[in-house]
Amino acid sequence: MGIEYAVNKDARIAYETFGTGGEPLLLVLGIDYQMVWWPDAFCERLVEAGYHVARYDNRDTGLSTHYPPPADGHPWRALLGRTPPLYTMADMIDDGLAVMDALGWDSAHVLGGASAYAQGLVLLHPERVSGLTLCMSFPATARALQILRYLKFGVFREFRKLPKATTPEQEIDNLIAIYRAQSSPGYPFPEEWVREAATLSHNRAPRDPRTTQRHLAAGRAVKLPPLSTITAPTLVVSGAEDQLIKPSGGRDLAAQIPGAEFVVYPGVGHDLPEGIWDDVIARMPR
C-alpha cells in the first residue's frame, strides 16, 4: 500500500501500512523524525509476527501538514512551556486516531519510539489502546525540571558541532551524523539503511529544526492524567547506553504504570537495533 492521508481538522496526516488482517499496530514516533525512520524491515518483521502495521508522519514532518515557525524559536523555552503553541499534544494525538479511523480500527496496540504522544494516546483515549510498548522514553507526565534529570546532555554538544549544511548532500550527511551519535554502540551501525532513510527523509521534506520547538510547545500545552490510570498491558524498553535518555527514565515510566514490564538492553543506544527486534516483538503484550 502506498501513501494515504487521514484528515484531522486542518491537518492532513500521511500514513502507510504493512500487511493485512493481523492485529492492528500503530507506530508512533516522537518529535522531528518522519515515519521512514521506522525501518521497513522492522515493519515486515512485525507483520510476520501477526500484526497489521501502520506508521505515519506527525504533523509538521514529512508529507503531513506543515505549519509556520513560532515567533520565539528557542527549544528550551518551549520545553519549559514558555512558547505559545500553534497546536497541542491533544491535536497530535488526534492525528494518530485519525489514522486509526481511516483504517477502521476501533483499537490498536501502540508502539511508541521516544514518544510522549504514545503515552498521551493511551491516557486520553484508553478505549482505543489494546496494548502498549514504549521505547526510549521517560514519563510524559514529568514536569520540566524532572525531564532535565532524565536527559543526557553530551550528545547535544555533538549536534552543535555539525557543520552548517548548504547543499542537499550536506543536509543528508548531517542526518546520518545525528543518527550515528544516537546509535547502539553494542551493535553494528546500519550504514546503508541510515543513508537510505536520511536521503528519503530529506527528499520528502528537508528537516526543519524549528519543528522541535513547535512539537515541544505542543507537549507542554496539555496536562495528562496520571500514568497510574493506564490499564493496557504495557512493555517499557530502554537502552543501557542511550545517549539521550537515562535508563532511569524508562524505569520510572514502567514503575508508574500498573503491571508494566521493564527491560533494559545492554549495548543499546537511542534506537532499536535489529539485534533486539525479535526479543522486543516477543515481549510485546497481546
For the chain, percent of residues with pLDDT exceeding 90: 79
What pLDDT score does 72 carry? Answer: 53
Q: What kind and span of H or E run contains 52?
A: strand 51-56
pLDDT tens-digit profile of 59-104?
Answer: 999 999 998 765 554 544 544 455 577 888 999 999 999 999 999 9
Average pLDDT over residues 218-241: 93
Q: Residue 5, exposed/middle/buried by CB under 10 A (0-12, 13-18, 19+)? A: middle
**Grid coordinates 553494542 are at which residue?**
186
What pLDDT score does 82 carry? Answer: 56
Model confidence at 180: pLDDT above 70 = yes
Measured between alpha carbons, how far is residue 266 from residues 152, 182, 240, 242, 270 in Å? 17, 14, 5, 10, 12
Domains of the chain: 4-151+208-283 (3.40.50.1820)
* 118-122, 171-175, 212-216, 250-254: range with lowest mean pLDDT: 212-216
Model confidence at 237: pLDDT above 60 = yes
SS3 258: coil
Measured between alpha carbons, how far is residue 226 from residues 163, 180, 218, 262 in Å? 41, 34, 18, 18
Average pLDDT over residues 163-186: 95
Beta carbons within 8 Å of 81's beta carbon, 6+ residues apart: 144, 217, 220, 221
Strands 51-56 and 108-113: unpaired
Model confidence at 53: pLDDT above 50 = yes
Supply the pTM of this predicted model: 0.94
